[in-house]
Amino acid sequence: MAKATKSFVCQSCGAAYTRWQGKCDSCNEWNTIAEEAPREVMPKGVSGGKGGRSIAFVDLKGTGTPPPRRSTTIGELDRVCGGGLVAGAAILVGGDPGIGKSTLLLEACGKLAAHATCVYITGEEAVDQVRLRAQRLGYANANVKLAAATNVRDIVASLDEAGAADVVVIDSIQTMFSDTADSAPGTVTQVRTCAHELIRVAKRRGFTLFLVGHVTKEGTLAGPRVLEHMVDTVLYFEGDRGHQFRILRAVKNRFGPTDEIGVFEMTDGGLKEVLNPSALFLAERRGNVSGSCVFAGIEGTRPVLVEIQALVAPSALGTPRRAVVGWDSARLNMIIAVMEARGGLAFGAHDIYLNVAGGLRISEPAADLAVAAALVSAFSGDPVPADAVVFGEIGLSGEVRAVAQRDLRLKEAAKLGFHQAWMPRQARDAAKARGKDDTKSGLALKDMGHVQDVMSQFASVAGMQNFQRGGH
């Protein structure tokens, strides 16, 4: 056996070093490298390729039945998991402290307990604390098996028999401890070893395993990459603690689509499902205010309308401020540059603030046009019509590009009482070419081919542009 040498592992990205150093060369983080036990050495014969048994190969076609799903009866959670829980699947639920991970999973257990064996193992709270929470959520009498434990060997031993459990929650994986790895709980090695042992028993015994994972300051789970690769599904629970909305987002799913979201509202009695997120995100919108624009977005398979707010104010600073909440700041800078260069607006002496109302985070490029409309509206003081939705991607030459799922966006907008849509011209041309009926959504469609088309919707903008509108 090779001599065991010390090993230093970056707690952020998992890169290994032979010596300690202040900065990780792999992820450029400072002070993330800690000493850990050496990696396990392969037993003799494993790497040589000798002495193995030949494995049986099977057809790709198989029996053709999709894995059976167990419904949690929390529709939003089922949706994000791809339509219910799969036996033997490992699901990582990540999120900031206090966002509601324990609440969500305890509720799921409470509901599932009626027709399945649920085990809830907490390494963070005392049993009484969990009981108190269950009482508050209205599941005091649910048949959930509860335990406070952190030793993975004990947990595996208790679960490693047929029918021991159908659903197991480990809250959280960072508090778990395995005596086969001799580094402290929470380190990459420990998290990896514990998760590995738990996932193995879940696959062997066919129960669904939920692992709660903490998110570090930088927004990733401690020991993140390692864990994300090991599990079948990665869900992030997001939201602003100042808001009552919580969004459960699938970022990886071996059993369903990713980018699916579930929307919840945190109330006194726990998490409540939000069945119509658009109505919720638009609930506090005030019509006819400059700088506000409704974006018709798609989250996963579902259309979500959300208000984008912009504020453009004269700046006293040499370098004006650009602040964004809920969107990508690099993308905002790009849109500003395009509007300056291709639309003739001069934002140079102005601070710009952009906010996606309701605490949602948008990553779709289709929001470009809505951001542009909000900015022009804020700059000119003219409101975007209160009954308009906007979507489209903007390119560097100022052109508005087509985006996917146009009909779904229009349908949702019509459902919520909007009367017009500002959208890419190409999308309409393409639809016409396919002989599609454009009027079926009932919305008046305004074609946007270029950012200047957006600007021409605002009466006061013409005087602000520092060049004449040319053909484009």
The residue ranges that bind ligand TYD (CB under 6 A) are 95, 97-103, 133, 136-137, 266, 268-270
Pick between residue 92 and residue 266 the one whose CB is nearest to ligand TYD.
266
Residues 6+ apart with CB under 8 A from 64: none
Residue nearest to Mg ion according to CB distances in the complex: 102
The least CB distance from residue 75 to ligand TYD, in Å, is 19
| Residue 95 partner contact from ligand TYD, Mg ion, none using kind-dependent CB cut-offs of 5 to 8 Å | ligand TYD
| Residue 196 partner contact from ligand TYD, Mg ion, none using kind-dependent CB cut-offs of 5 to 8 Å | none
| Residue 64 partner contact from ligand TYD, Mg ion, none using kind-dependent CB cut-offs of 5 to 8 Å | none
Pick between residue 268 and residue 437 the one whose CB is nearest to ligand TYD.
268
Distance CA 46, CA 50 (A): 7
Sheet strands (E) in 112-243: 118-122, 144-148, 167-171, 208-214, 233-238
Pick between residue 94 and residue 297 the one whose CB is nearest to ligand TYD.
94
The least CB distance from residue 133 to ligand TYD, in Å, is 5
Distance CA 430, CA 186 (A): 53
Pick between residue 103 and residue 187 the one whose CB is nearest to ligand TYD.
103
The least CB distance from residue 103 to Mg ion, in Å, is 8
Pick between residue 245 and residue 379 the one whose CB is nearest to ligand TYD.
245
Pick between residue 32 and residue 102 the one whose CB is nearest to Mg ion.
102
Pick between residue 102 and residue 193 the one whose CB is nearest to Mg ion.
102
* Nearest partner of 223 among 151, 175, 259, judged by Cα: 175
On whether the CB atoms of residues 74 and 111 are closer than 8 A, the answer is yes
Going by DSSP bridges, is the β-strand pair 388-390/292-299 parallel, antiparallel, or unpaired? parallel
Pick between residue 119 and residue 248 the one whose CB is nearest to ligand TYD.
248
The least CB distance from residue 201 to ligand TYD, in Å, is 23
Distance CA 18, CA 469 (A): 63
The least CB distance from residue 202 to Mg ion, in Å, is 20
Pick between residue 238 and residue 412 the one whose CB is nearest to ligand TYD.
238
Site string for Mg ion, 61-100 (x = CB under 5 A): ----------------------------------------
The least CB distance from residue 123 to ligand TYD, in Å, is 12
Asked if 377 is part of the footprint of Mg ion (rule: CB under 5 A), the reply reads no
Distance CA 198, CA 191 (A): 11
| Residue 94 partner contact from Mg ion, ligand TYD, none using kind-dependent CB cut-offs of 5 to 8 Å | none
What is the residue whose two structure tokens read 């002989």? Answer: 435
Q: Is 44 exposed, middle or buried (0-12, 13-18, 19+ CB in 10 A)?
A: exposed
**Cα angle vertex 89, ends 85, 93, to 5°?**
80
The least CB distance from residue 360 to ligand TYD, in Å, is 19
| Residue 99 partner contact from ligand TYD, Mg ion, none using kind-dependent CB cut-offs of 5 to 8 Å | ligand TYD
**Pair of tokens at residue 116:** 């399945």
| Residue 136 partner contact from ligand TYD, Mg ion, none using kind-dependent CB cut-offs of 5 to 8 Å | ligand TYD
Question: How many Cα atoms are found within 13 Å in the side-chain-facing hemisphere of 5?
Answer: 9
* Nearest partner of 349 among 457, 464, 462, 470, judged by Cα: 464
| Residue 100 partner contact from Mg ion, ligand TYD, none using kind-dependent CB cut-offs of 5 to 8 Å | ligand TYD
**Looking at the chain, how many residues does it have?**
472
Going by DSSP bridges, is the β-strand pair 144-148/118-122 parallel, antiparallel, or unpaired? parallel
The least CB distance from residue 101 to Mg ion, in Å, is 5
| Residue 270 partner contact from ligand TYD, Mg ion, none using kind-dependent CB cut-offs of 5 to 8 Å | ligand TYD
The least CB distance from residue 193 to ligand TYD, in Å, is 23
State the angle between helix axes of 127-137 and 101-112 in degrees (0 to 180), rounded to the nearest 10: 70
**Cα angle vertex 220, ends 253, 304, to 5°?**
55
Pick between residue 134 and residue 357 the one whose CB is nearest to Mg ion.
134
153 by DSSP, 3-state: which?
helix
Q: Cα-atom radius of gyration of the chain, to the nearest Å?
A: 26
In the list 32, 102, 178, 183, the residue contacting Mg ion (rule: CB under 5 A) is 102
Q: Is the dihedral of CA 27, 29, 30, 36 positive or negative?
A: negative
β-pair partners for 399: 450
The least CB distance from residue 130 to ligand TYD, in Å, is 10
Q: How many CB atoms lie within 10 A of CB 86?
A: 23
| Residue 441 partner contact from Mg ion, ligand TYD, none using kind-dependent CB cut-offs of 5 to 8 Å | none
| Interaction site with Mg ion (CB under 5 A) | 102
